[in-house]
Amino acid sequence: MVPEVAVPPVRGPAVGRHSSVVYSDDRAWAHHLCAFVRDGLERDERIEYFADATDPERVLRTLADAGIDAAAAVTRGQLSVATAARTYLADTGFDPDAMVGLWHDAFEAASARGHRGLRAIGEMSWGTRGVAGADRLLEYELRVHHEVVDRLPVTAWCFYDQRLLPDAYVDVLAGAHLTHRGDPSARPALRVAPLADRPGLVMSGSAGHDTRDVVAAAAAAVRSAPAHRVELDLSALRHLDAASLATLAGAATGRPDGVPLRVRQAPPHLRRLLELFPELGSAVEVVGR
């Protein structure tokens, strides 16, 4: 359970503070890096950079070359550049539950030092290297919006280097963010993203056997959602098979409160599945037309 902390009003809409950043050359990487750090320094926020493929010293040199006094920021404790392997990938690998807790701990530490907020960049190139827990990365991306960014003055940019990651992998993970920066990404066969205005997810495309891993990640995010009521927007879902519906329904029944998933604008195929499998109706509540 994430601890409740007293925080100042969250700055700006959460929609714009958790972003995917896709790039394919060093110049674009440097551009996004410098813009992010410069903005954080101007706002008196604590800034953290979690490097994977990039040497931390190169991060600091790039900032200095752009006229940003990174050394002074590091000295006064406002900027930290570390490797992912020594931070959120340490010990047992990647754990979304632990990472959500680390966000809250990091914000409390930044607040205690007088900073107005927290911002971090994470290089995500480790995701396809067989790191323990890497298969839960999509679940994590779906959870961060409501469990962290909606609740705290936190800005998080996830860096996806197209030179190091498969296009299909990037497309799915970039699609899990409400804000996208950098190179365009294609729409995956099944896109899942947080709802912008209430706890829940929006799913579009086709949910079937080929996308079962994406559905499983969505179900894990539903199961972990801290809100009492979680909604699904399936209005743009062209296809949903029975196995995918059962996975989502199972996530609802696995929640501590057992409150059904609320589905608005349910597509006709979902209604047909609920008629064929009425036992799933106790976990999925269809509202509206």
Tell me the DSSP string of 255-287. STT-PPEEEES--HHHHHHHHH-GGGGGTEEEE
pLDDT at 87: 84
| Tens digit of each residue's pLDDT (9 = 90 or more) over 184-241 | 989 999 999 999 989 999 999 999 999 999 999 999 999 999 888 899 999 999 999 9
Tokens, residue 289: 């037309």
pLDDT at 14: 57
| Tens digit of each residue's pLDDT (9 = 90 or more) over 35-46 | 999 999 999 999
Q: What is the DSSP letter of 149?
A: I
Instruction: Please compute Rg for the chain using Cα positions.
Output: 20
136: left (phi over 0), alpha (psi -120 to 50) or beta: alpha
Any idea which residue has 């539950």 for tokens? 97
Any idea which residue has 């979680």 for tokens? 230
In the predicted structure, residue 182 carries a pLDDT above the cut 50: yes
Higher pLDDT pick, 2 / 194: 194
Q: Where are the beta strands (DSSP E) in the chain?
A: 18-23, 46-51, 79-83, 118-123, 154-161, 179-182, 190-194, 200-207, 231-240, 261-264, 284-287
d(CA 48, CA 69): 15
Question: Which residues make beta-bridge pairs with 19?
Answer: 157, 179
Question: What pTM did the predictor assign?
Answer: 0.90
pLDDT at 1: 37
d(CA 152, CA 158): 17
For residue 101, what are the contacts with CB-CB under 8 A and spacing of at least 6? 2
Other residues' Cβ atoms within 10 Å of the Cβ of residue 276: 10
- Evaluate the CA torsion angle 168, 131, 16, 51 in order and state its sign: negative
**Mean pLDDT over residues 118-123, rounded?**
97
